[in-house]
Amino acid sequence: MKPIENNVVGIIGLGLMGGAIAMALRSGGLIPPGGRGRILGCDIDGDTLAAARVDGVIDEGFTSPEPLLGRCDMIFLCLNPATLLEFMEKQMRAFRPGTLITDIAGIKGHIAAAMETTLREDLDFIPGHPMAGSEGGGYGNAKKCDFHGKNYILTPLKRNKGENLEYLKALLYRMGFGRITCTTAEEHDRKIAFTSQLCHVIAAALINCEADREITRFGGGSFEDLTRIAILNVPLWTELFLENRDALLHRITQFEESLEKIKGLIAEEQKEELQETLRTVRNRRAAMG
């Protein structure tokens, strides 16, 4: 791969994450405006493309991917999981030979499986998941999506070229991410069901059992912290919950059992055992940093 500043990078989908990635490439000075490198954006919404051009975040905008794909050295696919596989199937012939492709989907199992078998031999697809986000969604919220010090998960395929993997990792660190973890797609989906999807389900369940809008008068920070993520991108999270259904259901059940245990200690006023549990919890969470 050429140095990033000389590359033509395509961003497919200029939503929250696509917009934030373009911004990190541009404002981080990785692909400066007027240099040899280019940032090409593709989105079905012409207004988004116009806004991104005015912001100087992309050099050119396209409402369909065909004219863009043949020009790119590297592609960030910033689409919802289901759309992504349709896109790859439909556009498989349009990519330039040797293109390094990566995605940002929050579930990886079926994407990794499909790419292992259906990807053109002269392309390289490295599945990825930036652990960053922001309330709301869309290009309009992209500026609020801060990558600095955040986690990034990669679930490399057996066929990925080592040099491309190293190239992508270096690029992600330069974009601001603080820690990159390589793991299998299955492990990713099991862990993410806990750290991300279960947390969103809990936030939704909390909000769904209290209709009083004035309840925030009684908030001291914990309620606000636990439910901020309830302002979610509805189609995206519906898809994530359903696509990672089995792992998520397992984690919900695990959490329900854990909650039931603590509830039991409170109901039976088992002070000693409750204190012991809270001490374990306190130490464990503190050790997580």
Q: Which residues between 187 and 226 bind its own copies (CB under 8 A)?
A: 188, 191-192, 194-196, 198-211, 213, 215-223, 225-226
Q: Residue count at the site for its own copies (CB under 8 A)?
A: 86
Contact between 227 and its own copies per CB under 8 A: yes
Instruction: For residues 128 and 105, give the distance between their C-alpha atoms in angstroms, rounded to a whole number.
Output: 7
Provide the sign of the torsion angle of the four alpha carbons 43, 48, 52, 54, taken in this order: positive
C-beta of 72: minimal distance to its own copies in Å? 27
Contact between 181 and its own copies per CB under 8 A: yes
Task: Residue 217: count other Cβ atoms within 10 Å of its Cβ.
Answer: 7
CB nearer to its own copies: give 163 or 246: 246
Contact between 266 and its own copies per CB under 8 A: yes
Please, which of residues 122-141 interact with its own copies by CB under 8 A? 130-133
Are 99 and 74 in contact, with CB atoms under 8 Å apart? yes
C-beta of 196: minimal distance to its own copies in Å? 6
Task: Residue 241: count other Cβ atoms within 10 Å of its Cβ.
Answer: 18
CB nearer to its own copies: give 121 or 214: 214
CB nearer to its own copies: give 72 or 153: 153
Single out the residue of 34, 93, 97, 267 in contact with its own copies (rule: CB under 8 A). Answer: 267
C-beta of 182: minimal distance to its own copies in Å? 10
CB nearer to its own copies: give 119 or 202: 202
Contact between 144 and its own copies per CB under 8 A: no
Provide the sign of the torsion angle of the four alpha carbons 172, 154, 78, 245, taken in this order: negative
Contact between 93 and its own copies per CB under 8 A: no
- Burial (CB < 10 A; 0-12, 13-18, 19+), residue 188, is buried
